[in-house]
A and B are shown apart, each in its own frame.
Chain A
Amino acid sequence: MMQLECPCCGRRDEAEFVCGGTTHIARPGLAASDVEWGAYLFFRDNPKGVLLERWRHSYGCGLWFNVARHTVTHEVLAVYSISAAPPALR
Chain B
Amino acid sequence: MRYSALALVRGALTGHRNWRPAWRSPEPRAAYDVVIVGGGGHGLAAAYYLAKNHGITNVAVLERGWLGGGNTGRNTTVVRSNYLFPESARLYDFSLKLYEGLSRELNFNVMLSQRGHVMLAHSRHDLESMARWVNAMHMNGIDAELLTREAVGQLVPALDLSPAARYPVLGGFLQPRAGTARHDAVAWGYARAADALGVDILQHCEVTGFLRGRGGRIVGVDTNRGPIAAERIGIAAAGHSSVLAALAGFRLPVTSYALQAMVTEPLKPRLDTVVISPGTGAYVSQSDKGEMVIGGSLDLFASYAQRGSFAVLQSVVAATLAMFPSFSRLRLLRQWAGIVDVVHDSSPIIGPTPVPGLYINCGWGTGGFKAIPAGGWLLAHVLATGESHELAEPFQLERFTSGRLIDEAAASGIAH
| Interface-lining segment among B69-77, B252-260, B265-273 | B252-260
User: Are A74 and B303 in touch, CB under 8 angstroms?
Assistant: yes
In the assembled complex, A15 has its CB within 8 A of some CB on chain B = yes
User: Are B311 and A48 in touch, CB under 8 angstroms?
Assistant: no
User: Are B253 and A44 in touch, CB under 8 angstroms?
Assistant: yes
User: Are A74 and B305 in touch, CB under 8 angstroms?
Assistant: yes
User: Are B302 and A71 in touch, CB under 8 angstroms?
Assistant: yes
Which of B301, B304, B309, B401 is within 8 Å of A48, CB to CB? B304
Q: Report A40 CB to chain B, min CB distance, Å.
A: 11
In the assembled complex, B344 has its CB within 8 A of some CB on chain A = yes
Cβ of A21: which chain B residues have Cβ within 8 Å of it?
Answer: 255, 302
Question: Once the chains are docked, how many angstroms separate the CA of A17 from the CA of B403?
Answer: 31
Number of A-B contacts (CB under 8 A): 68
| Interface size range on B against A | 20 to 34
Residue in A1, A14, A34, A46 whose Cβ sees the most chain B Cβ within 10 Å? A46
- Chain B interface SS verdict (over half): mixed
Q: Report B397 CB to chain A, min CB distance, Å.
A: 10
In the assembled complex, B242 has its CB within 8 A of some CB on chain A = yes
Answer whether A18 and B300 are a contact pair too, CB < 8 Å, given A1-B311, A34-B402, A42-B344.
yes
User: Are B309 and A14 in touch, CB under 8 angstroms?
Assistant: yes
In the assembled complex, A88 has its CB within 8 A of some CB on chain B = no
Answer whether A43 and B309 are a contact pair too, CB < 8 Å, given A19-B301, A21-B302, A48-B240.
no
User: Are B344 and A1 in touch, CB under 8 angstroms?
Assistant: no
- Chain B interface residues toward A at CB < 8 A: 240, 242-243, 246, 251-256, 300-305, 309-311, 314, 343-344, 400-403
8 closest cross-chain pairs (CB), A and B: A19-B301, A46-B242, A38-B401, A42-B253, A15-B311, A42-B400, A1-B310, A48-B304
With A43-B400, A46-B242, A71-B256 given, can you name 18 additional A-B contacts, CB distance below 8 Å? A1-B309, A1-B310, A13-B311, A18-B300, A21-B302, A37-B401, A38-B253, A38-B403, A42-B400, A44-B253, A46-B302, A47-B242, A48-B243, A51-B302, A71-B303, A72-B303, A72-B304, A72-B305
A selection of 28 A-B contacts at a CB cut-off of 8 Å is: A1-B309, A1-B310, A14-B309, A18-B300, A19-B300, A21-B302, A35-B401, A38-B253, A38-B401, A38-B402, A38-B403, A39-B251, A41-B344, A41-B400, A42-B253, A42-B343, A42-B400, A43-B253, A44-B255, A46-B242, A46-B254, A46-B255, A48-B256, A51-B302, A55-B301, A71-B303, A72-B305, A74-B305
